[in-house]
Amino acid sequence: MFSLYRLREDKQKLQLEGAGRDEQKKRITDMGTFLREQPTTLTEYDEPLVRRLIEKVTVYENKFTVEFKSGVMVDVKE
């Protein structure tokens, strides 16, 4: 039998997970809006754009992984 405390804890956990997903969706939407406002062709390195969009880049022997601030990760292979 479930206890009331256990159900409350589960409810709170689910609410926190939902809030995290909502925040990630908002970041992705914001990134999409920002990208649509940019010129369609990038011809040179844009430091403010990189700082706004990219959280980190991890370099491996045969690929690198770009982690965007939205939480999306992309592997780029040689």
| pLDDT for 56 | 93
Task: Quick: pLDDT tens for 25-38.
Answer: 888 888 778 777 77
Q: What is the mean pLDDT of each run of 10 residues along the chain (78 residues)?
A: 79 84 82 76 82 90 89 86
Torsional sign, CA 3, 8, 11, 12? negative
- The Cα diameter of the chain in Å comes to 63
| H helix and E strand count, the chain | 2, 3
d(CA 35, CA 65): 20
- Distance of CA 51 to CAs 9, 19, 46, 57, Å? 38, 25, 9, 12
- Is the overall model pTM greater than 0.85, yes or no? no
| pLDDT for 2 | 66
